[in-house]
Amino acid sequence: MSKGKLEKAVIKQIEKLAESKEAQETFVKRMKQSNKIQILREIDSATTVLKEIEKRSVRQKIAYDSGVTSLKEYKEDIAKNGSEKFEFNERLEVKRIELTQETKVENQSRKSLLALANFKKIWKIAGLSQKKELLHSILEKVIVNTNKIELVFKSL
């Protein structure tokens, strides 16, 4: 198969996919499956716990200063608060990283859906380098067997 015929066949398959309601629904479904809301809740929860630890530390200091608790108890409280703060700060950092990744995937899904929905328009007005860039951004590889072409799209 010649290079020109191959390119036309690839574009035809992408256009067919772009017009597919199933493909569009898959992108929309992926966007709706976002864990972003859950991650934000977990970030809020960890932040609240950290604030509570700080408040508890202040109360424990007041209790020690006023003679209600012993030095031994106060040191144990400080150690416990420190380990809890460390644990929740680590959890918070992990959740922030997850949120960043989830946001990137969500944005990529949105861009891919828009590009897919407008593929024919974009393709008609795009220059050669833009067309090349578009294909490279959505295709992992093209497999050609005799007269059959298989497109492998990049995963989100």
Model confidence pLDDT, tens digit, residues 8-56: 777 887 777 777 777 667 766 666 667 888 999 999 999 999 999 999 9
Model's pTM, two decimal places? 0.60
Q: How many angstroms separate the CA atoms of 113 and 105, rounded?
A: 12
The domain segmentation of the chain, as residue ranges, is: 3-153
Cα 14 to its chain centre, rounded Å, is 25
Between residues 144 and 89, the one the model is more confident about? 89
Render pLDDT for 79-88 as a digit per residue (tens, 0 to 9): 999 999 999 9
Percent of residues, the chain, with pLDDT higher than 70 = 87
Task: Return the closest-CA partner of residue 102 out of 152, 26, 22, 30.
Answer: 30
- C-alpha distances in angstroms, 73 versus 31, 52, 76, 86? 50, 19, 5, 20
Burial class (CB in 10 A: 0-12, 13-18, 19+), 107: exposed
If phi > 0 it is left, if psi is from -120 to 50 it is alpha, else beta; for residue 144 that is beta
